[in-house]
Chains A and B, each alone.
Chain A
Amino acid sequence: MAILRSRGPQATSHEALIRTLYAEHGKALLAYATRLTGDRAAAEDVVQETLIRAWRHPEVIANPQGSLRGWLLTVARNIVTDRYRAKAARPNEVAETETVTPVHRDHSQEVVDSVVMMDALSKLKPEHREVLVEIYYRGRTASEAAGRLGIPEGTVKSRAHHALKALRKLYTPSNPGSALKLRKVGAA
Chain B
Amino acid sequence: MSTQQQHPNGELLGAYVLGVLGTDERSTLEEHTAECEECRMELTALQEMEAALGEVPPEAFLEGPPEDGDLLLQRTLRQVRAEQTSAWRRRSLAVGLGAAASAAILFLGGYAAGGNDPGSVTAAPPSATPSASPSTSPSTSSSPPQEGLRVASATDSDTKASITVELTPASQWVRVNASVAGVPSGERCRLVVVSKDGHQETAASWVVSPGPSPTASPQPGEGGLNGSAAVAPDEVESVIVVNDQGKQYVGVDM
Contacts and interface: CB of A to CB of B under 8 A. Distances in A.
Interface in A1-51: 1-20, 22-24, 26-32, 35, 44, 47-48, 51
Contacts of B89: 8
Contacts of B204: 9-10
A147 interface: no
A26 B73 contact: yes
Contact of A10 (B15, B50, B58, B202): B202
A59 B80 CA distance: 17
Contacts of A136: 18, 50, 53
B122 interface: no
A1 B100 contact: yes
A187 to B, nearest CB: 7
Given A31-B62, A47-B72, A188-B117, A113 B20 contact: no
B49 interface: yes
Interface stretch (B134-142, B150-158, B227-235): B227-235
A90 interface: no
B95 A2 contact: yes
Contacts of B85: 8
Interface in B163-185: 168-173, 175
A61 interface: yes
Q: Give the secondary structure class of A's interface.
A: helix
Contacts of A11: 80-81, 84
Given A9-B109, A30-B66, A164-B50, A157 B116 contact: no
B172 to A, nearest CB: 5
Interface in B46-102: 46, 49-50, 52-53, 55-67, 69, 71-73, 75-77, 79-81, 83-85, 87-89, 92, 95-96, 99-100, 102
A8 B201 contact: no
A158 interface: yes
A10 B14 contact: no
Contacts of A2: 95-96, 99, 102, 106, 126, 207, 209-210
Interface string B7-44: 00001111101101110000000000000000000000
Given A62-B169, A117-B55, A14 B14 contact: no
Contacts of A117: 52-53, 55-56
A161 B110 CA distance: 47
B118 interface: yes
Given A28-B63, A137-B60, A161-B13, A132 B203 contact: no
Interface in A160-182: 160-165, 167-168, 171, 173
B207 A5 contact: yes
Nearest to A13: B228
A152 B50 CA distance: 22
Contacts of A86: none
A32 B80 contact: no
Given A6-B108, A16-B173, A18-B77, A118 B46 contact: no
Interface string A93-129: 0000000000000000000111011100100000000
B13 to A, nearest CB: 6
Contacts of A1: 96, 99-100
A48 B15 contact: no
B133 interface: no
Contacts of A116: 55
Nearest to B189: A6
28 contacts: A2-B207, A5-B207, A6-B188, A6-B205, A9-B108, A9-B110, A9-B227, A10-B227, A14-B228, A16-B201, A18-B76, A22-B72, A24-B63, A27-B62, A29-B59, A30-B72, A31-B59, A48-B72, A48-B76, A56-B116, A58-B111, A112-B55, A113-B52, A136-B53, A137-B61, A157-B15, A161-B11, A164-B50
Interface of A: 1-20, 22-24, 26-32, 35, 44, 47-48, 51-52, 55-58, 61-63, 68-70, 73, 77, 112-114, 116-118, 121, 132-133, 135-139, 141-142, 145, 156-158, 160-165, 167-168, 171, 173, 186-188
